[in-house]
Amino acid sequence: MNNIVSVILARGGSKGIPKKNIVDINGRPLLYYSIDASKRSDVNKTFVSTDCKEISRVALECGASGIIDRPKQLATDKAMSDDALIHFATIVSFDILVFIQPTSAMIKPEYINKGIEMVVSGKYDSVFTATEEHWIPKWNQKVEPVDWDIYNRPMRQDKEELYTENGMFYITKRNNLLTSKLRYSGKIGVVKIPLIDSFQIDTIEDLELIKKLKMNE
**Which residues have CB under 8 Å from 2's CB, separation 6+?**
95, 96, 120
Give the count of domains, the chain.
1
Read off the CATH number of the domain in which 208 is found: 3.90.550.10
Residue 74 included in any domain: yes
**206 is a domain residue:** yes
Residue 158 lies in a domain: no
Question: Quick one: pLDDT at residue 161?
Answer: 85
At 215 the pLDDT is 83
Does 16 score more than 80 pLDDT?
no
Q: Is pTM beyond 0.95 here?
A: no
In a domain, 142, yes or no: no
Residue 110 lies in a domain: yes
Name the β-bridge partners of 28: 25
Q: Give me the domain span that covers residue 196.
A: 4-130+164-215
146 in any annotated domain: no
Is position 153 annotated as part of the catalytic site?
A: yes
pLDDT tens digit sequence for 27-71: 999 999 999 999 999 999 999 999 999 999 999 999 999 999 999
Q: Is residue 135 part of a domain?
A: no
Establish if 148 belongs to a structural domain.
no
Out of 57, 70, 153, 174, pick the active-site residue.
153
